[in-house]
Amino acid sequence: MTEPAVTVTTDPVALAAELVAIDSVNPSLVPGAAGEPEAADFCAAWLADRGFEITRLGTADRPSIVAVKRGPGGRSVMLNGHLDTVAATPAQLVPAQRDGRLYGRGAFDMKSGVAALMVAAAEAQCAGDVIVALVADEEFGSAGTERVLEKFTADAAIVAEPSGLELTVAHRGFAWFEVAISGRAAHGSQPELGVDAIAHAAQIMRALDELGRSLAAGPAHPLLGHGTVRVSTISGGVDAATVAPSATLTVERRFLPGESPDAVEEELRLALGALLDSSAPDTARATLSRLVARGAFEAAPHSAIVDVVSRHTHAVTGSAVRRGEPFWTDAGLYAEAGIPCLVIGVDGGGAHADEEWATTESIRELTEILRRSIEEFCA
């Protein structure tokens, strides 16, 4: 295999543009897509050329890399960025700069953040270890960060997802459930002879609406508001002339720090009560199963890494806003691993949209914030 050419640039904007030009569309989202290998090879070569020890994780077609710069002794920090993107057209893989913005697929989410953390890690002078985790699959299942945390740890972590140069110190967790409903088919002219799974699904949806109202009436998190519950997909029935013998609901529950996937599953079971697993004759049977769940994240009020990054963000930008996000990030996995963390990334817009961009000023400011924060935290 031909070794990737090592770019000499240490300009984070130019480096981000080179990363945008590499097709790394997640094949779990777009079957047959390129995936992360070329991006991983490029980043590994760039970091190895600057003295980092490189470890490859995952598979050859879905690699993550971990690059470590050893220090003589001090606190360690892990910088996390994902290499994969959502679907891209050929035009979106041609980076363009105009009016103070870098355009292209991944410019915002999150190759500009990857470039910033690479340059910051390379330039930082500190006593502790600096660990750069560039991962696969964040846009689908976060398998890359899961593999990294099986092998590596640190005293703190920074996830460089885009945040407008504000500090994300909390976000919701989520859990997806499937409700499978079994009824009994009958001719539509004699519905009394059947058990209608769709009618039972309607009762379940009314119970979920009531749970949603209860959540909205409860205490609000100061940064995240309330938890939510909703039906995201529904299917059922066979044709217009038959009582539906089956139906399936997919339920999404977004939950707050302090709640757990087990707790919200038990909450759902209590809310649905006798609508689940009824043994009464001539009644539909429904079963609830958990599909995927990810924990919520909240930084400790006086976390050392948050205080350090906050101080340097204020020094570089003149402000240091702390905020929460309604969506999930890989910071949730760091929190589950017991590693203090936060999210900070570039300013811009168009994540997953036709036109995606990051401001070049924020790419450079993020690089400086990260460099200063690494040097102080790992002193």
| 3-state SS, one letter per residue, for 350-376 | CCCCCCCEEEHHHHHHHHHHHHHHHHH
Residue 248 has, within 13 A of its CA and on its CB side, a CA count of 7
The Cα–Cα gap between 226 and 230 comes to 13
User: Which of 19, 17, 25 lies closest to 4 in space, CA to CA?
Assistant: 19
Would you say 263 and 210 are in contact if contact means Cβ atoms under 8 Å apart? no
> What is the C-alpha separation between 93 and 377, in angstroms, rounded?
36
pLDDT at 59: 97
| DSSP secondary structure of 227-288 | -EEEEEEEEE-S-TTB--SEEEEEEEEEE-TT--HHHHHHHHHHHHGGGSS--STT--EEEE
Smallest CA-to-CA distance from 40 within 130, 141, 148 is with: 148
Question: What is the C-alpha separation between 88 and 72, in angstroms, rounded?
Answer: 43
Alpha carbon dihedral 223, 341, 9, 122, in 10-degree steps, equals 150
Beta bridge partners of 195: 184
List, as one string, the DSSP characters of 310-324: HHHHHHHHS---EEE
Angle at 38 between CA 120 and CA 30, to 5 degrees: 110
What are the strands of the beta sheet with 246-255, ordered from one edge? 228-236, 246-255, 173-182, 285-294
pLDDT in tens for each of the 379 residues of the chain? 455 556 668 999 999 999 999 999 999 999 999 999 999 999 999 999 999 999 999 999 999 999 999 999 999 999 999 999 999 999 999 999 999 999 999 999 999 999 999 999 999 999 999 999 999 999 998 999 999 999 999 999 999 999 999 999 999 999 999 999 999 999 999 999 999 999 999 999 999 999 999 999 999 999 999 999 999 999 999 999 999 999 999 999 999 999 999 999 999 999 999 999 776 778 899 999 999 999 999 999 889 999 999 999 999 999 999 999 998 999 999 999 999 999 999 999 999 999 999 999 999 999 999 999 999 999 8
Please report the pLDDT score of residue 318 as a whole number. 98
Q: Is 72 exposed, middle or buried (0-12, 13-18, 19+ CB in 10 A)?
A: exposed
Structure tokens at 354: 């036709």
**Side chain identity at 253, as an amino acid letter?**
R
Q: How far apart are CA 379 and CA 373, in angstroms?
A: 10
**pLDDT for the residue 130:** 98
Instruction: Please give the pLDDT value at position 1.
Output: 46
Per the CB < 8 A criterion, the answer to whether 376 and 308 are in contact is yes
Residues in Cβ contact with 170 at an 8 Å cutoff, skipping those fewer than 6 apart:
221, 223, 224, 257, 296, 297, 298, 299, 324, 325
